[in-house]
Amino acid sequence: MAVLSKREMMLIQKLAQTAGYVSQSELCEYLEIKPRTLRECIRTFRNSFQSQAGIDIESGIGIGYRLVVKDKDKYYAFQKEMLSNLVNEQTVISGSQDDRVNYIIRVLLSAKKPVRTEQLADRMYIARSTISDDLKKVREQLAAFQLTLRTIYGEGVRVEGEERNIREAIAHTLIEEPFSNHETEIMDMYFEPGIRSIAERTIRETLEKYDYHMADAGFRYLLIHILVAISRIRTETYIDDDSRKLSDLKQMEEWKIAEDIYRRLGEQLQQEIPESEVGYVAIHLAGKRMIVNENELILYPETLNMLVRILDAVKVNYHYDFLGDTDLFTALAMHMQPLLHRAKFGLHISNPMLETIMTKNSLAFDMGTLAADEIIAQTGYAVDKNEIGYMALHFALAIEKNRYHHRKKVLVVCASGAGTSRILEYRLRNVLGSKNIDIMTAGYYELEKDTHVKCDLILSTVPIPFATDAKVLRIHELPEFSELNSVERTLFEDESVADQVIGCLDERLFFRDMSFASRHDAIHFLCDQISRTNDLPDDFEESVLKRERFAATTVGNGVAMPHPDKLISNEIGLAVCHLKTPLKWGKDDVSLIILFSMKTADDDLSRAFSEMIADFVSSREKIARYMKTPEYITLTEILKEYSGKQDEDIFR
């Protein structure tokens, strides 16, 4: 079969990923072509490939195009041919830089000798200048695995580094492989035919023998690492022998399991496997074990103490007291032991939810960062962003539970007796339904004796002449349901909240058309400006830079939100900076910087402020409106539109 062009492969890929019709405009935008060129591309495919591929590109008047399978066997063979083209480096499916970078990394990691950059450019149909930019990204991504890209004059470029790290990078390209629906075919293309099924069966049977549990993702990662290891062993490329680490590993249950896996694989594949390779698999087993119940958990005293110190630090820095949250403590304990194994032996894991966690659950990520600092201080082990992201998931769930338990309390006061109070309570529950409230009842004289009763609202059928801590709302003894609607408005739709949040903004801290040489310059400028109007500690800027050093505070939509690594201010502060030209912020370009500081005390205003700002920065439409007119009044108008309904997060 003739080789598809890059555009034709992108077209088939797009149609195959969509169940129904794809509009002409969407296809043109995806392929970056005009409608006439799209029609020509489809015509070419129909004439050259349609009968061989077992599919038809069906058009619908006014609704677009869809892929229809006519012959499943032919279509299966056609898919395999497309995948083969990808693996054999005949083309690159997508024209985006990320896909080009992933492709280059795959080529370099599998190459036996240096690769010429002009050959890479020709294969991808791109200019020499473009390949130079792509190689900068390649170097950045390889650096995450402690690998370097060396240029050899007259020969090309090649990847250099420790064998363990090269394997991690190779496995990562397979784990992140976009064709997850065709995993079997891809594995068979990268590895010898049949070896995947032998390895998978052997690993499963051995884990069952030892009653050793792994999550599906963990099992897949282990399988890929073992397949990569076998392919490297067959070329006589081995893991470096570290006798000290091997001695530690031999004391663990995972060593016995790894030894059994490789003994059985060695017999079936007729391959001798050195002891250092057994250690390599044992490390991956220990790092990917799933503890399915508390009985399997072996919690060493030093780990227990570390968890207590982590929760203490969270309480001190973020004023969330999770020491009594047994669910969080258990979840962190069950997560901690595999994490420490991974950190001890330098095992990297990927976290596909990392960007979402950092963007949608930034407070939880900051708590995870604090936990990582404690682990590093106690063990000296490096803990990367992916690990922090997984710890952040546990904190995010605990925060969500904490918010759920922040219930509104209503005290019903009636002088006519308990019967009337109960009627009021019944009608109030009917109006409020299942909302997050607690309803209490009390007599007039009970309230007079204790005016400091803790509640959000007092409903009274009689005048209350004395001062109380909570707001008092006067109602009739047997009110109509329409009258009780005002209770809901008072509790959940307090119009003053938006005004209070807007009151935290200072027009002097809004800047537009600014330019900076680096994000550090931008942070210094904004910290200096906000310190002139807000009561901030002397180490405020250092705290912001410390958080930034760990991970860039980009949140998507071209926005960065630098902030301290802990709650250190006595008041809410916000500085907003619109940039004249985008500024590189970590790996992303940003056009809007929002420096903020939260109060050390957690209250309704702080929560409302956080939710309203989060709603603003997560909305592409609202950011676009602000960027069109980047001024104080624009943001206040946008914040007033906030409805209190949050976008779905990772728990909903």
H helices of 17-150, in order, are: 24-31, 35-48, 50-53, 72-87, 97-110, 117-124, 128-143
What is the total residue count of the chain? 652
Co-location of 512 and 634 in the same domain = yes
Q: β-pairing, 148-152 with 156-160?
A: antiparallel
Mean pLDDT, residues 422-432 taken together: 70
Q: Is residue 645 part of a domain?
A: no
Mean pLDDT, residues 143-156 taken together: 89
- Whether the Cβ atoms of residue 378 and residue 302 lie closer than 8 Å to each other: yes
Lowest mean pLDDT, pick from 109-118, 227-236, 353-362: 353-362
Strand-pairing partners, residue 511, are 577
Co-location of 504 and 615 in the same domain = yes
Q: What is the CATH number of the domain that holds 30?
A: 1.10.10.10
Q: Among 39, 65, 87, give the residue marking a domain's end.
A: 87
Domain tally, the chain: 6
Q: Is residue 170 part of a domain?
A: no
For residue 297, what pLDDT band results from cuts at 50, 70 and 90?
A: low
**Residues 6 or more apart whose Cβ sits within 8 Å of residue 304:** 333
Q: Count CB-CB contacts under 10 A for residue 456.
A: 16
At 557, list the tokens.
């939509």
For the cut 50, the answer to whether the pLDDT of residue 358 exceeds it is yes
Question: What is the model's pTM?
Answer: 0.57
For the cut 60, the answer to whether the pLDDT of residue 647 exceeds it is no
Q: What is the CATH number of the domain that holds 271?
A: 1.10.1790.10
Q: Is residue 76 part of a domain?
A: yes
Q: Among 45, 60, 87, give the residue marking a domain's end.
A: 87
Classify each residue of 54-72 as buried b or exposed e, where b means 16 or more C-beta atoms within 10 Å of its C-beta: bbebeeeeeebbbbeeeee
Q: Is residue 67 part of a domain?
A: yes
At 184, list the tokens.
């079997």
Q: Is residue 263 part of a domain?
A: yes
Co-location of 503 and 632 in the same domain = yes
Tokens 């402690």 sit on residue: 146
Q: Among 493, 520, 537, give the residue marking a domain's end.
A: 493
Angle at 344 between CA 341 and CA 349, to 5 degrees: 65
**Residues 6 or more apart whose Cβ sits within 8 Å of residue 601:** 319
- The predicted structure's pLDDT at residue 498: 67
Quick one: DSSP state of residue 426? H
Q: Quick one: which H or E segment has residue 68?
A: strand 64-69
- Please state the separation of Cα 623 from the chain's center in Å: 21
Co-location of 351 and 378 in the same domain = yes
At 624, list the tokens.
């676009």
- The predicted structure's pLDDT at residue 93: 44
Co-location of 530 and 610 in the same domain = yes
For residue 138, what pLDDT band results from cuts at 50, 70 and 90?
A: very high
Over residues 52-93, the pLDDT tens digits come to 888 889 888 888 999 888 888 788 777 766 665 555 444 444
Q: What is the CATH number of the domain that holds 454?
A: 3.40.50.2300
Q: Is residue 646 part of a domain?
A: no
Co-location of 383 and 485 in the same domain = no
Over residues 195-227, the pLDDT tens digits come to 888 998 999 999 999 988 887 777 888 888 898
Q: Is residue 166 part of a domain?
A: no
Phi, psi of 137 (to 5 degrees): -65, -40
| Spatial distance between the Cα atoms of 292 and 297, rounded to a whole number of angstroms | 9
For residue 590, what pLDDT band results from cuts at 50, 70 and 90?
A: very high
5, 89, 188, 450, 589 from 265: Cα distances, Å: 41, 30, 17, 75, 48
Q: Is residue 648 part of a domain?
A: no
Co-location of 21 and 75 in the same domain = yes
- The predicted structure's pLDDT at residue 541: 93
The boundaries of the domain holding residue 331 are 294-404
**Residues 6 or more apart whose Cβ sits within 8 Å of residue 275:** 241, 246
